[in-house]
Chain A
């Protein structure tokens, strides 16, 4: 080998030796884009939200003889003194979205409960929380029971509390945006005297609202 080449090759080999023996590491510095400064926003109704809820529910089939059982039945709540409205507005048959048709319960987890007077097989439960604005109510859970305190024989017929933040179990149902046609829950014939609906604030504020609850079933004989 040419002597003139030996020396540089030796120097290069010595210089690269540590690299082959031990692969040095360092933190990968990522340069992330900064947030963009911009002026005051407005409340913008996203067209995308409409696309989520725009379709009508369509017909829902129930057993013949199914009747509305909840109208003007006794009702109670975890918040017996609503901030706005009276509890009996929840099942007075009025479902308009405007002022004067809803009740407002306090912040955090709250429930309302309808006493159907007797245990009936239930075929449809409809909830209207607040439908004059696109919003999602958190941790909506609907339960049916013959126990007024919901300590035993509780059947959960709807639960979208996917992270169990309300402590009633992890729900598999999806969150939904409030619309005028309300949310229809299929209790699949679950039998019970009491229907209890939970929520825990919404995407606009921490408060809980109800325009109306309707419970349909076949009256027990």
Chain B
């Protein structure tokens, strides 16, 4: 593949990746976690203040890196924010991954990187979580950046490469606590690839590890210094709270308990592989098995090749991170991203190896044609996962997601408020435990008097609010307290989780009259 063709394919893949990740960003209701992050970001946007919370929310980069997106769109308050602004940030980093592949062109070969870029662009899983306002997309970008910078440093030990790797490590650590798994995995992968690749001078394609990679103290200092500097700046809220970095270290206890302890997110060892390989539910079938199969082919090709530092490096990284995340009992589907990005790269390598193994032009053409069909197959699934069934529990990437019916609840409350004398200052009382409160704060962000209580007993008097929202386990008590003066409705929050909405009859009659007048 010549340089022009390579650049053309990667640019086309980048455009496709951006289109899949940015289009109709508001088509899926906000997940509990997204709303949580959005409200936290809103505080930073409005007040300029952020303080790391070691009990939840992960690291600060998502919030700080969302600021430019909000400023660009002229949004200065939580109420003015929308899904397009928030989800544009993970989308940009998700598509940006493809640019990180470029430095691998020398070690992987251009066809392999071009194939990986196309697979990454259309991957349903990478796209789905690239449209999700959580840390994962940024985290994967920074950890892959670290792997690539560290691998290049292993090839050519230069201080600037060490600083680059350190900066990526600092960013990854300031994004998510699981950096303590992924960064050592990347370092181990580089070390293992170095040990298993015969040292010699780079050939014409530069596929081999050069001789005598000696590492100076200055380089190590540059790497560690850059990592500490970046992590300290973010965790200290840019020096406003100097203890932030220490707090991040104290968070390990919390996340260790969560990661290894039994809980509602406990899944079997093969959860991630099964999720990607095949799932069938409610008449819908999903599979990214072709990527996994190509990745296996790529790993085998890397093992067989004599001079393949980079393919082996990414293969080790993929296998180590897959093993580590699979071994942890705590599993949420977006945690598959760190190893799956490696798998996509290896799939690109495997695809190029398969095409290259064809003995005739016809053979190569047939393999390339089959791969093209596989890409179309992934793209169709991508479309279904992100635009047709974006919040449907039959979609394997959907996890405890807010159902579209919840948007009707939010619409009902704002419609009632629009007709109420207090308008957006209408009092709304939410009586629900913390798991049933979200994403209400996001959807009612334009309302100024919304209160949240975990139980009817804690809420005290509720009949002074024109609208009361209650979780199912509180609805009976709330209904008894409100009596006949309120109309009760039910709305979905998540699959099999309902919320009750109580609307004062006067407000209800006003609403129905307005509907009839239309």
Contacts and interface: CB of A to CB of B under 8 A. Distances in A.
Contact of A162 (B57, B404, B476, B489): B489
Given A100-B283, A133-B495, A136-B490, A163 B435 contact: no
B495 A164 contact: no
B147 interface: no
B281 A204 contact: no
A128 to B, nearest CB: 15
B497 A46 contact: yes
A64 interface: no
Contacts of A37: 36, 40, 53, 56-57, 434
Contacts of A104: 283
A204 B452 CA distance: 24
Interface string A45-64: 11011000000000000000
Interface in A126-182: 132-136, 138, 162-164, 170, 175
A65 interface: no
B139 to A, nearest CB: 15
Nearest to B459: A33
A163 B265 contact: no
Nearest to A40: B33
B290 to A, nearest CB: 23
A122 B246 CA distance: 74
Contact of B56 (A38, A84, A133, A135): A38
Contacts of A43: 393, 400, 494-497
B83 interface: no
Given A35-B441, A135-B492, A46 B391 contact: no
A206 to B, nearest CB: 5
Nearest to B334: A40
- Dominant secondary structure of chain A at its interface with chain B: loop
B451 A32 contact: yes
A45 to B, nearest CB: 5
Contact of A99 (B280, B450, B491, B492): B280
A43 B434 CA distance: 14
A201 interface: yes
A133 B496 contact: yes
Contacts of B473: 46, 48
A100 B121 CA distance: 32
Nearest to B475: A48
Nearest to A34: B452
A36 B404 contact: no
A112 B457 CA distance: 45
Nearest to A130: B282
A203 interface: yes
A78 interface: no
Nearest to A203: B492
Contacts of B516: 164
Contacts of A30: 427, 449, 451
Interface in A81-96: 84-85
Interface string B278-308: 0011111000000000000000000000000
B264 A42 contact: yes
Interface residues of B, number: 59
Contacts of B284: 84
Given A35-B441, A49-B472, A202 B405 contact: yes
A205 interface: yes
B405 A201 contact: yes
B176 interface: no
A135 B498 CA distance: 9
A39 interface: yes
B453 interface: yes
B281 A99 contact: yes
A204 B265 contact: no
B332 interface: yes
A38 B494 contact: no
B428 to A, nearest CB: 9
Contacts of B450: 32
A15 interface: no
Contacts of A201: 404-405
A26 to B, nearest CB: 14
A33 B434 contact: no
A163 B452 CA distance: 27
A32 B516 CA distance: 34
Contacts of A84: 282-284
Contacts of B449: 30, 32
A34 B42 CA distance: 14
Nearest to A29: B449
Given A33-B452, A40-B33, A136-B498, A202 B283 contact: no
A39 B56 contact: yes
A35 B39 contact: yes
A44 interface: yes
Interface of B: 32-33, 36, 39-40, 53, 56-57, 258, 264-265, 280-284, 332, 389, 391-393, 399-400, 403-405, 408, 427, 430, 434-435, 437-438, 440-441, 449-454, 472-473, 475-476, 487, 489-492, 494-498, 511-512, 515-516
16 contacts: A32-B451, A35-B437, A37-B56, A37-B57, A40-B399, A43-B497, A44-B435, A102-B283, A132-B282, A134-B496, A164-B515, A202-B492, A203-B403, A203-B405, A204-B496, A205-B393
Given A39-B258, A170-B512, 18 more contacts: A32-B450, A33-B451, A34-B452, A35-B430, A36-B434, A37-B36, A38-B36, A39-B33, A39-B56, A41-B494, A43-B494, A44-B435, A44-B496, A85-B283, A138-B408, A175-B490, A204-B403, A204-B495
Closest 10 CB pairs of A and B: A203-B492, A32-B451, A36-B434, A84-B283, A38-B434, A41-B435, A42-B264, A48-B472, A35-B441, A203-B405
